[in-house]
Amino acid sequence: MDLKSYDDVTRYITEECLLIYKGKDTIQAMELALHLMDFPKLKMHCPQHHYLIPAAMLTASYKTQGRSVESLQSDLMEAMMRAKNILPAFCGLYGSCGAAVGLGIYLSILTDSNQYSVHTWALTNKVVGECLLKISEIDGPRCCKRNSYIALQIGEKFSKEELGLDLGTTESIQCTHYQKNLEECKKGECPFYNFSTPIEVYKV
């Protein structure tokens, strides 16, 4: 695996996923993603989130399925290459948030789907569509953290209902990154903003 051509954040996400995969018996997708988001070099808003979503989801799914670390390593590289095609500001300029598209990357790789597939082709588009609709319920401006939380919740629920994969059930989420986003943060309009008491998971 050659990561030399990738940035520090992408390398960290990949290496950390593999390290945790080797060291833990069970992995929850949301828990892993929140851990990855705490990496100091990961900015509040950046295209690396487009890779972080499928990386966390694949790592949790492959652990649940008992796949080899070599299989995960290979498919993380594939997810990395696909995520590079989701440009910065994709949400505003193309109308498709990269976190949602990241779920499509996750599901297409997990199910070995492509443009010629039948049922899995539909599932891949369905998960992205459901995620985009949920993201659109909150007005802009963009927030990579907020949309990532929503994508992960959709991913957990979708994986359990459609694929029978239990990747964890998130009981509450509190954003810990809002101070990096003071000018654009929606504060009380964001379902993840309440800091006085733990909030219930945003219903998906």
> Residue 189 is encoded by which pair of tokens?
């309009």
For residue range 131-157, what is the model confidence (pLDDT) as tens digits? 999 999 999 999 999 999 999 999 999
- Cα–Cα distances in angstroms (integers) from residue 61 to residues 8, 174, 200, in the given order: 24, 24, 24
* pLDDT tens profile 22-52: 999 999 999 999 999 999 999 999 999 999 9
Specify the pLDDT at position 6: 84
**Cβ burial 132-161 (10 Å sphere, 16+ → b, else e):** bebbeeeeeebbbbbbbbbbbbbbbbbbee
CA dist 109 and 143 (Å) reads: 26
CB count within 10 Å of CB 131 equals 28
| Under-50 pLDDT residues of the chain | 197-204
In terms of pTM, does the model score above 0.85? yes
Rounded Cα distance between 122 and 196, Å, is 41
Q: Where are the domains of the chain?
A: 8-171
Give the pLDDT of residue 196: 52
Separation between Cα atoms, residue 95 and residue 106, nearest integer Å:
19
pLDDT at 204: 47
- What string of DSSP letters covers 58-77? HHHHHHHHT--HHHHHHHHH
**pLDDT computed for residue 199 by the predictor:** 38
pLDDT score, position 202:
42
